[in-house]
Amino acid sequence: MPGASPANGPARHWLPLLLCASQTGQADGAYPLDRIRMQKAVFLLTLRGSARWNGLYPYRAYDWGPYCRELVDDLRGLAATGLMRTSATAGSRYGRYMLTEQGQQAADEVWESLPPDEQEFLTTVRAYVTSKDFNALLREVYAAYPEYATESRWNRQ
């Protein structure tokens, strides 16, 4: 993928790729890494993660919390290049993001270039978002970042 190299650190599109990698899925919760959880995971990574991830995705308040159109475009690009796919999953209307074999190989290369604290944080964030149902996840994100609740359609159940 142009502009991305493990030697240069993860470019913007490496974050969703790494979130889907087998290395980060070791402590998955009961919920799939779907489009809602991917948005919240990348949001948390860019706000609380490594300094080099800070601001990689421009988030704004939207229907279901922090939202980034560029992330949606990157996810489509990862699918179009054969690195990622969406798999239908029981209990999810959006499906689960998964890596293809080629995507996992790319993620492996980047993973090995990351410092241990970044690896750990990626795994922690994925485990966090996949352990929360939709309402709990939004409730916690909005409590921590109320400025992203201003456009919400969520009924705060």
Domain layout of the chain by residue ranges: 11-148
Helix axes 134-144, 35-48, angle to 10 degrees: 30
Write down the pTM of the prediction: 0.89
| Per-residue confidence band for 6, with pLDDT thresholds at 50, 70 and 90 | very low
CA–CA separation, 140 and 64 (whole Å)? 12
> Which DSSP symbol is given to 57?
S
Question: What is the amino acid identity at position 140?
Answer: E
| Per-residue confidence band for 25, with pLDDT thresholds at 50, 70 and 90 | confident
Question: What is the amino acid identity at position 87?
Answer: S
